[in-house]
Structure 1
Amino acid sequence: MADDERSPEDEFREMIRQLFGGAGEIDPEQLSRLSGLEIDPAMMQAVMRQLQDAFSGDGSISWDLTRRQALHIANQDGLAITQGQRADLDQAFALADLWLSEATTISELAKAPQPITRGGWVEATLPVWQELAEPVATSIADALTAALSDQAPEDMQGLVQGAGRIMRTVGGSLFATQLGHVVGSLSKEVVAGGDVGIPLMPDGEAVILPQNFADLGRDLEIPDDQLALYLAARELAHARLFRHARWLRLHVISQVTEYARGIHVDTSALEELASRFDPSEPEELRNAIESGALLPTRSETQVEALRRLENLLATIEGWVDVVTAAATSRLPSAPRIAEAVRRRRAVGGPAEQALGSLVGLELRPRRMREAAAMWQAVTDAVGVAARDSLWDYPDLMPTADDIDDPAALIARLEARARGEEPAPDAFDDALAQLLEAESGSRTDEASGEKGEAPDEDEGDGPAEEDPHPGGRPI
């Protein structure tokens, strides 16, 4: 068929084949002949340029989109840290550090705490956000490719297979952009490095965002110097804990990623979306990703993983809460600030709620009050040093049962302080049985070997008198 005899639909299909087939170039004259489809050639040129950018990728998720979007939002106000803000926060950190050393035996940080901009917070925390979000992003991108393949007619399967990499890139890029939007928005809500609960900042770093601190102070109507001291003490306690318990950071991150890897996209919802998906109008897919509509109801395994994560975060923040309260007991407004911080963490801001929809994960320590009560009871019973020693090794850390009833934990700590052996638990009993069975097996093997040895005294004559009546020493 000659070019002038082909229909606009044939022109459009040929153009898509050229793009997906690897040519990567579209003839502008082809665009001008699409009037029969009522498509604006200028708009189509822009769409094709976007698709060509996707085609040039390798199918992997471009996390640089996350960074650019997050920084664009974080740096919108363009506010730098003033010398006055820096001096005030440095002074607050210095005094809070002294007070904190009276409230905990966990040593101070090696690196001086500092104020940080919203953009600086984004740059510092992006590696952790990427690690947490990657399982979900990959799941959405892969599921989108599979759903499109299932929906395509038989005669278009070859085309869809060739375009699979592009479709995967489109889905991954949309997710990366949405994550950047969430992280950028979150940079306007967090006041300090430990606000979200998970270890976002590198080990041993404590930071406060002056821009957000000023907003929080206006909302609470509390003197800035008292608010700065409280928040500095809380941030330092959080950073000290993760620097002291080197294993804790990996423990938290692994719990989060374990939960995230269990997330699978709702195939039926995605297939319905794929049946009408238009790469030139990705808004519907973007809205589905942002709202969490593609994430199904949590499985039992995920519910259990989330429960463990919530208990872990509550245990961490409960300790931080108790230590901060002890360190800031001199501040008249400390109880009001503490209550405001607890409510803020329990409710979460808009950006944190958006993160829950995007990744399917809520990072809120629902049992922080119970955990704080447990830590306070332990402190009252055995003192600061014995309490803080529970962070020395992972197996010493309080469990969910200890949060429910700290009496058994306190009894173990009191017995250890008296030099007594702790009462064996189920794990100790199982280990003892295993060791006893192994010991019995070795004894049986030794007896068998001894019974097979020849008797040197065997013979026709009388046996010699044994010079060792009690038996020969072994």
Structure 2
Amino acid sequence: MLRRLFGGQDGNFDADQLEQLRAMGVDPAMMEGVMRQLQAAFSSAPAGGISWDVAQRQALHIANQSDLGVTSGQRGEFDQAFALAALWLGEVTTISELAEPARALTRGGWVEATMPVWQELAEPVATSIADALTEAMRSQAPDDMQQAIAGAGKVMRTIGGSLFASQLGQVIGRLSLEVVSGGDVGIPVMPDGRAAILPQNFDDFGRDLEVPEDQLALYLATRELAHARLFRHAKWLRLHVISQITEFARGVHVDMDALEDLASRFDPQHPDELRQALESGALLPQRSDAQTAALTRLENLLALIEGWVEVVTADATGRLPHAVRIAEAVRRRRAVGGPAEKALGSLVGLELRPRRMREAAAMWRAVTDAVGPAGRDALWDYPDLMPTSDDIDDPSALIARVQAHARGEQPVRDEMDEALDALLRGDVPPASADDETGDDPPEEQRPV
């Protein structure tokens, strides 16, 4: 029966084999139905073993259950808010407008628009979990089953990958009930140059703020446009953020001891424990040093993005009487996050929190006061101009560089500049005596 399942053979299962399951307390009819469903899933699985369609279906199922849609009145209100926000932003930033108009989006529409990015971020973790399940099955199977297990690698990858994809879909579906806008989670999950607000979640967010709805709509529309404009202007920025996240995710591996302990107690009739283990991050061990370094770089990058957006939004919405109050509510919300965002962090081992947002915002404010919006925004033109972590701590050196550039002064040359000029001129330094003789260094100096 296993050979027929793993080999993807068609046809009926052996009735005698199924009947033998009755002695084990298993309903043969129920088992046959389960086997047929598994066989159909395995035969239609993609080559990589992970069906991301499962994640999207799960997410859409949750999002659409409570989706009230977008009325024509809501669409008109947010169209007006985005139009006015675009005018205000034009007064405080040199970064140009979006090519496409922003729009009001349903929860299901947000899931469909953002799922490709979630897939890209989660794929390294999904692959790691699928590989771990395959290895756990191989290591625990008896010797007489090793041959069958060896031919079931794709099947086990499908099981692990589909299980993870299903959990990811549930988390993204719940996240669609919380996010207010496309840039609400701080990373570029919307397609490039797109901005959106979810009116249903906007109503939930503003219910207890005691702020006029039109002011809240204008503030959030301005913030969303600023976020989308930044990523459209700095075309390298999206890849930079995604690569930092995937670099972190590639280092994620599964705690085999925790997995084996869970497998020894696992009851297929009660899979809640496995689901909870995936969502809580219990199968992901502590971060490695490389992951910690990658996470620090990512947190600094997100803080720079969020800080710039906060400063530009504050300047653009200075006319709103409740702008400061709304800004503080948004800042608290980004710092704490909602239940679904926390579940996403546990699932992929990554929290998307701009922990240094206040410090980064203070840096951008100092830069704006010193050199104006044009000098500030020019720092996003190229990756090598972007402020560093040290600049967040003390922006004085950054401000001095930007002011010197505005005056037309050339930066102070260093050894790297001299070496590059020599290389371009073809001035290759003479080889050392050791290089000419080809002698090896002493044994104690050789790399291990």
| TM-score, normalised by the number of residues in structure 2 | 0.91
Query: Which of 4, 7, 26 in structure 1 is aligned with 2:13?
Result: 26
Paired residue type of 1:20: F
Find out whether 1:52 has 2:42 as its counterpart: no
Query: Which of 254, 258, 276 in structure 2 is aligned with 1:287?
Result: 276
Counterpart position of 2:2: 16
Question: Separation in 2 of the partners of 1:430 and 1:121?
Answer: 47
Residues 237 and 323 of structure 1 are in contact (CA less than 8 Å); yes or no, is this contact kept in structure 2? yes
Question: Separation in 2 of the partners of 1:305 and 1:238?
Answer: 23
Query: Which of 410, 415, 418 in structure 2 is aligned with 1:429?
Result: 415
Counterpart position of 2:184: 195
Paired residue type of 2:131: D
Question: Separation in 2 of the partners of 1:168 and 1:356?
Answer: 23
Deviation, structure 1 residue 435: 4.0
Counterpart position of 2:241: 252
Deviation, structure 1 residue 276: 5.4
Change (3 A) 1:200 1:437: closer
Counterpart position of 2:112: 123
Deviation, structure 1 residue 198: 0.5
Query: Which of 361, 365, 373 in structure 2 is aligned with 1:376?
Result: 365
Q: Work out the percentage of aligned pairs sharing the same amino acid.
A: 72
Question: Separation in 2 of the partners of 1:146 and 1:33?
Answer: 29
Change (3 A) 1:106 1:294: same
Question: Separation in 2 of the partners of 1:423 and 1:443?
Answer: 23
Counterpart position of 1:166: 155
Deviation, structure 1 residue 444: 6.9
Residue aligned with 1:250, SS: helix
Counterpart position of 2:230: 241
Deviation, structure 1 residue 242: 0.8
Paired residue type of 1:19: L
Question: Separation in 2 of the partners of 1:442 and 1:166?
Answer: 57
Question: Separation in 1 of the partners of 2:429 and 2:115?
Answer: 58
Residues 59 and 166 of structure 1 are in contact (CA less than 8 Å); yes or no, is this contact kept in structure 2? no
Q: Which has the larger radius of gyration?
A: 1
Question: Separation in 1 of the partners of 2:188 and 2:48?
Answer: 30
Find out whether 1:43 has 2:30 as its counterpart: yes
Counterpart position of 1:61: 50
Deviation, structure 1 residue 39: 1.3
Query: Which of 90, 112, 119 in structure 2 is aligned with 1:101?
Result: 90
Range 52-61 or range 380-389, more displaced: 52-61
Question: Separation in 1 of the partners of 2:93 and 2:225?
Answer: 11
Range 228-237 or range 252-261, more displaced: 252-261
Residues 204 and 242 of structure 1 are in contact (CA less than 8 Å); yes or no, is this contact kept in structure 2? yes
Structural RMSD (CA): 2.0
Deviation, structure 1 residue 203: 1.2
Range 324-333 or range 275-284, more displaced: 275-284
Residue aligned with 2:286, SS: coil
Query: Which of 388, 393, 399 in structure 2 is aligned with 1:399?
Result: 388
Deviation, structure 1 residue 49: 2.7
C-alpha distance after superposition, 1:109-130 (max 9, x if no partner)? 1111110101110000000000
Residues 122 and 249 of structure 2 are in contact (CA less than 8 Å); yes or no, is this contact kept in structure 1? yes
Question: Separation in 2 of the partners of 1:226 and 1:101?
Answer: 19
Range 131-140 or range 42-51, more displaced: 42-51
Counterpart position of 2:70: 81
Question: Separation in 2 of the partners of 1:33 and 1:42?
Answer: 12
Mapping of 1:219-234 within 5 angstroms? 219-234=208-223
Residues 144 and 274 of structure 1 are in contact (CA less than 8 Å); yes or no, is this contact kept in structure 2? no
Paired residue type of 2:409: E
Change (3 A) 1:92 1:443: closer
Change (3 A) 1:280 1:156: farther
Paired residue type of 2:377: D
Paired residue type of 2:32: Q
Deviation, structure 1 residue 439: 6.0
Question: Separation in 2 of the partners of 1:314 and 1:336?
Answer: 20
Mapping of 1:302-341 within 5 angstroms? 302-341=291-330
Deviation, structure 1 residue 265: 1.3
Query: Which of 151, 158, 167 in structure 1 is aligned with 2:140?
Result: 151
Residues 67 and 106 of structure 2 are in contact (CA less than 8 Å); yes or no, is this contact kept in structure 1? no
Residues 310 and 363 of structure 1 are in contact (CA less than 8 Å); yes or no, is this contact kept in structure 2? yes
Paired residue type of 2:56: R
Deviation, structure 1 residue 20: 2.8
Range 130-139 or range 75-84, more displaced: 75-84
Deviation, structure 1 residue 33: 4.1
Paired residue type of 1:16: L
Residues 148 and 271 of structure 1 are in contact (CA less than 8 Å); yes or no, is this contact kept in structure 2? no
Deviation, structure 1 residue 53: 2.7
Deviation, structure 1 residue 139: 0.6
Structure 2 gaps of 5+ residues are 432-448
Query: Which of 58, 68, 72 in structure 1 is aligned with 2:61?
Result: 72
| TM-score, normalised by the number of residues in structure 1 | 0.86
Question: Separation in 2 of the partners of 1:316 and 1:122?
Answer: 23
